[in-house]
């Protein structure tokens, strides 16, 4: 059976399941600069090491939403788990929240451990919440990302390609 066409809701037994840590992601100055530029934030603490040091940081720090860049890869591993049975072609990003222990900074080598926090079904749509914990090279928790995704139900009466936007 093709799980993508299955009307079965996601398996509740996945709640609490954790996935192995990702390979380390090295936070680079250039990546921070590019990200800050892409979101239109010209705060010098993101691009100028001296400005960052003046505020007590050892190097430039990343904008708060940079956490998404690191955590998304781990969340994708979760939703790509074939045993979960999620049709990624019907997934939309619903909500994102972050909690910080400290800012991400250039030179950090971060791993992300993802855990499925909740699986719910409402009106044929599956809702999945994934918690991603970002740890630095010492194992210390740096930030936590909570990602909510919705897998929209298929409109079985629509011809192929219709009802999808």
- Tell me the pLDDT tens digit for each residue of 100-155: 999 999 999 999 999 999 999 888 888 999 999 999 999 999 999 999 999 887 65
pTM of the model: 0.83
Determine what percent of the chain is predicted with pLDDT higher than 90: 65
Token pair belonging to 48: 């100028």
Q: Which pLDDT score is estimated for 9?
A: 67
What CATH architecture applies to the domain 14-28+62-151? Answer: Roll (3.10)
Coil, strand or helix: which one is 88? helix
Pick from 109, 125, 126: which is nearest to 70 by CA? 109
Is there a contact between 129 and 118 (Cβ–Cβ < 8 Å)?
Answer: yes
* String of DSSP letters for 118-138: EEEEETTEEEEEEEEEEE-TT
Percentage of the chain modeled with pLDDT above 70: 87
Predicted confidence (pLDDT) per residue in 48-69, tens digit:
999 999 999 999 999 999 999 9
- Locate the domains of the chain by residue range: 14-28+62-151
Q: Residue 51 and residue 127: Cα distance in Å, rounded? A: 42
Say what the alpha-carbon torsion angle 16, 17, 19, 21 is, to the nearest 10 degrees: 30
102/141 Cα distance (integer angstroms): 9
């Amino acid at each position: 059976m093709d799980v993508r066409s299955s009307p079965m809701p996601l398996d509740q037994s996945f709640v609490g399941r954790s996935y192995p840590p990702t390979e380390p992601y090295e936070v680079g100055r250039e990546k921070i600069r590019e990200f800050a530029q892409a979101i239109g934030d010209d705060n010098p603490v993101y691009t100028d090491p001296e400005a960052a040091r003046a505020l007590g940081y050892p190097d430039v720090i990343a904008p708060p939403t940079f956490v998404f860049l690191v955590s998304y890869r781990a969340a994708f591993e979760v939703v790509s788990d074939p045993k979960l049975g999620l049709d990624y072609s019907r997934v939309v990003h619903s909500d994102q929240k972050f909690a910080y222990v400290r800012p991400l900074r250039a030179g950090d080598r971060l791993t992300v451990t993802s855990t499925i926090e909740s699986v719910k079904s409402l009106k044929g749509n599956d809702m999945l919440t994934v918690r991603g914990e970002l740890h630095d090279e010492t194992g210390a928790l740096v930030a936590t990302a909570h990602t909510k995704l919705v897998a929209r139900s298929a409109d079985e009466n629509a011809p192929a390609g219709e009802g999808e936007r």
